[in-house]
């Protein structure tokens, strides 16, 4: 629960700082004219820098959450491809979020607007990495944990279906690479997954449930960091 809280707090902080430092302004999207992006970067460099800082920071607890959740599943006896898929997806999502943050930070540096082509390239990289590049592997993490946990009766059935819904939207976000209209799936996967993370952290057992104890002996706790 603590890791999910830190990840959420840093993500929200990035949004708040953008509102405070760039009031009444919206970040220029890749499909808008390049002049809009250059003007935004020139005027709101500090907002971009702080946003990149909090975004990079949020990637760290997300990666740890993925590692801790994978470790807990293994402790609970899950030996399936879904557990490995979840771990790989979580780590990939962390790396993509970091890459997007670093692209954003580079945009905030001095004199970057002197080269309009560099601004566009960094904008596209930041959007691609922080959009479908982040959300798609995050969907793999959500799906891997949801399906394997439910099959082993470790989480409620409704939470599995919520995870499948999030994962589906996350994978559909990859269509953004073909059409901007699919960008609607990016926030669906990114923000609803936060609710899912809290639910998983609260419901996934930290000790061996009675129905899988068998001959494994007394239950011990692997920790409750998630």
Total domain count for the chain? 1
Domain assignment present for 216: no
Closest to 4 in 3D by CA, of 76, 78, 63: 63
Domain assignment present for 225: no
Domain assignment present for 220: no
Rounded to whole angstroms, the Cα distance separating 29 from 134 reads 17
Alpha-carbon Rg for the chain in angstroms: 19
Q: Which two tokens stand for residue 215?
A: 């001959």
Domain assignment present for 219: no
| Host domain of residue 90 | 2-26+34-207
Q: Which residues of the chain have pLDDT under 50?
A: 215, 219-220, 224-225
Q: Which two tokens stand for residue 85?
A: 């898929």
The answer to whether 140 and 113 are in contact (CB under 8 A) is: no
Question: What is the maximal distance between C-alpha atoms in the chain?
Answer: 68
pLDDT in tens, 173-215: 999 999 999 999 999 999 999 999 999 999 998 777 665 555 4
Domain assignment present for 214: no
So what's the pLDDT on residue 170?
97
pTM of the model: 0.87
Torsional class of 108: left (φ above 0), alpha (ψ -120 to 50), beta (otherwise):
alpha
Domain assignment present for 160: yes
Domain assignment present for 224: no
Query: Is residue 31 exposed (0-12), middle (13-18) or buried (19+ Cβ within 10 Å)?
Result: exposed
**Which residues lie closer than 8 Å to 47 by C-beta, 6 or more apart?**
17, 18, 21, 22
So what's the pLDDT on residue 213?
56
Domain assignment present for 168: yes
The answer to whether 69 and 203 are in contact (CB under 8 A) is: no
């Amino acid at each position: 629960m603590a890791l999910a809280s830190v990840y959420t707090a840093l993500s929200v902080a990035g949004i708040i700082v953008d509102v405070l430092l760039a009031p009444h302004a919206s970040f220029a999207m890749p499909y808008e004219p390049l002049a809009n992006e250059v003007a935004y970067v020139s005027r709101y460099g500090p907002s971009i820098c702080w946003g990149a800082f909090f975004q990079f920071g949020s990637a760290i607890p997300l990666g740890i959450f993925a590692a801790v959740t994978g470790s807990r599943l293994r402790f609970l006896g899950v030996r399936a491809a879904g557990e490995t898929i979840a771990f790989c997806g979580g780590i990939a999502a962390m790396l993509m979020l970091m890459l997007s943050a670093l692209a954003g930070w580079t945009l905030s540096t001095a004199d970057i607007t002197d080269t309009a082509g560099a601004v566009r390239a960094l904008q596209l990289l930041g959007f691609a990495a922080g959009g479908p590049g982040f959300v798609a592997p995050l969907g793999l993490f959500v799906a891997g944990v949801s399906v394997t946990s439910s099959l082993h009766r470790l989480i409620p059935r409704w939470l599995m279906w919520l995870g499948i819904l999030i994962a589906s939207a996350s994978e559909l976000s990859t269509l953004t690479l073909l059409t901007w209209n699919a960008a609607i799936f990016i926030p669906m996967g990114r923000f609803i997954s936060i609710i899912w993370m809290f639910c998983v952290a609260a419901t996934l057992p930290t000790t061996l449930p009675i129905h899988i104890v068998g001959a494994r002996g007394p239950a011990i706790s692997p920790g409750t960091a998630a």
